[in-house]
Amino acid sequence: MHDVEPRRLLSPDTVLRRRKANSFELATLLCSYLIGNGFAACVVSGYATREIVNNDQRRVACPYVPQEEEEEGKEQDQLCSFLVVHKKCDVVV
């Protein structure tokens, strides 16, 4: 069996000049266009859980909140949701 991923990846400029590319290079070219037009885009190879794709961090412990007090846990969870910065890809190629 051969590798699915290419050994090298040509730049979007080279892909346009050559007019020939593999799927990874074309996906990179598309992301280049999308990022240039203000979209958050990324190339993904393989698979990921729904939480990873949607950047769902509800089950991830917030590092900014002390874990020792249980009574204030609900208030701290609400505070945690404001402290965690969420970055999500608008487009996944």
Given pLDDT bands bounded at 50, 70 and 90, which one contains residue 80?
very low
Give yes or no for residue 30 having a pLDDT over 90: yes
Select, from the ranges 38-42, 63-67, 72-76, the one with the highest average predicted confidence (pLDDT). Answer: 38-42
Euclidean distance between CA atoms 82 and 21, whole angstroms? 43
Give the contacts of 53 (CB within 8 A, at least 6 positions apart): 92
Statement: residue 46 has pLDDT above 70 = yes
Q: Do the strands 41-42 and 91-92 form a parallel or antiparallel pair, or are they unpaired?
A: parallel
Task: Tell me the whole-structure pTM to 2 decimals.
Answer: 0.52
